[in-house]
Amino acid sequence: MVENRPFRDFMAYLTLVVGVIVVAFPVYLAIMASTFDAATIINGNMPLIPGDQAAENYSRTLFYGGKAAREPVMGMMINSMIMAMGIALGKILISILSAYAVVYFKFPFRKTAFWVIFITLMLPVEVRIYPTYKIVADLGLLDTYTGLVLPLIASATGTLLFRQFFMTIPDELLEASKIDGAGAFRFFKDTLLPLSMTTIAALFVIQFIYGWNQYLWPLLITTKSSMQTIVIGIKKMITTTDALTEWQIAMTTAVLAMVPPVLVVIFMQRLFVKGLVETEK
């Protein structure tokens, strides 16, 4: 900055710091809570420095069921991981293929097909939840991973994102491929896919978190506790009716639930930046 205005700078930083504290404090509190025993949390005088129960809490949460006969959180994390990965990868696969079809192939009702996909953007899962549930139930997919993942895969957002990206790729690249003897599939595999890597990474991050945080759908179609996802797990831990809520376990689970999305963001961000730096048009 050319201008030097210390007061303005100070105010700007102050606002930032206050904002960060407001956002980060509950997270910090959750992390701290996961290091104490139940009694310390419940009596309301929990200190703000880490306690000594961390190892105990985390191993108990991850691997043993509790008094309320809950599942070990490790199993929930595996379920959530399978669901989030399935949704993210499935969405990418489906939307990149449909965008490829809509952009690069001329077939009757191509425009119609695109608009139909586009219109589904306006229908969130909740709106079509009853028919979806009915179909999944009739197919016998309740309490299965397929049932968890499949109905959430179709993605208008992803198709739209890939379509917009494909339209920025010059036609000459397709023509050069044709002259170089590459057919439709080879053009997709050798040229389009490598060029789409950054878009894929972006979509993966968004959809992984979307899948990980799913609540309503898994709540509806999973009844077995072995199929529970971690988000449902947390909810069930908090609303126990016949026993005291084990807050230290709930907080530990919350912290654990944050780890995979954070890792995905951190890891993918590097790929993001790399892709952004390398892309040149």
Partner 1 sequence: MAGVTLDTVRKIYAGNVEAVKGVSLDVEDGSFCVLVGPSGCGKSTLLRMIAGLETISGGDIRIGDRVVNQVEPADRDIAMVFQNYALYPHMSVYDNMAYGLRNRKTPKDEIEKRVKEAARILAIEPFLDRKPRALSGGQRQRVAMGRAIVRKPQVFLFDEPLSNLDAKLRVQMRVEIKRLQKALGVTSIYVTHDQVEAMTLSDKLVVMSGGQIEQVGSPAEVYRRPETRFVATFIGSPPMNILPGKVEGPGRVSVGGQTIAVTDMREGLAPGSAIEVGLRPEDVQAGGAAGSSSLGMDVDFVEELGATQLFHGKVAGTDFVVQASTGQIPAETRKLTLSIDPANVHLFDPQTTKRLGRF
Tell me which residues touch partner 1 (CB under 8 A). 170, 172-173, 175-176, 178-182, 186, 190-191, 194-195, 278, 280
Smallest distance, partner 1 to C-beta of residue 182, A: 5
Residue with tokens 């010059």: 170
Tokens of 242: 């016949």
Of 187 and 217, nearer to partner 1 (C-beta) is 187
Nearest one of 177, 153, 157 to 86, comparing CA atoms: 153
Structure tokens at 276: 């952004």
d(CA 104, CA 81): 34
197's tokens: 């890597």
> Which residue lies nearer to partner 1 by CB, 178 or 235?
178
Between CA 63 and CA 52 the distance in angstroms is: 19
Cβ at position 186, least distance to partner 1 in Å: 7
Q: Which is nearer to partner 1, 177 or 248 (CB)?
A: 177
Concatenating the DSSP letter of every residue in 8-27 gives HHHHHHHHHHHHHHHHHHHH
Q: DSSP state, 36?
A: S
CB nearer to partner 1: give 52 or 280: 280
Tokens encoding 147: 């049932």
CB 183 → partner 1: shortest distance, Å?
Answer: 8
Q: Cβ–Cβ contacts within 10 Å for residue 269, how many? A: 12
| C-beta of 14 vs 173, nearer to partner 1 | 173
CB of 45 to partner 1, least distance (A): 59
Closest contact distance (angstroms) between CB of 176 and partner 1 is 4
Give least dist CB 172 to partner 1, A: 4
Query: Quick one: residue 65, left, alpha or beta (phi over 0 = left, psi -120 to 50 = alpha)?
Result: beta
Comparing CB distances to partner 1, the nearer of 90 and 275 is: 275
110 with 100: CB under 8 angstroms?
no
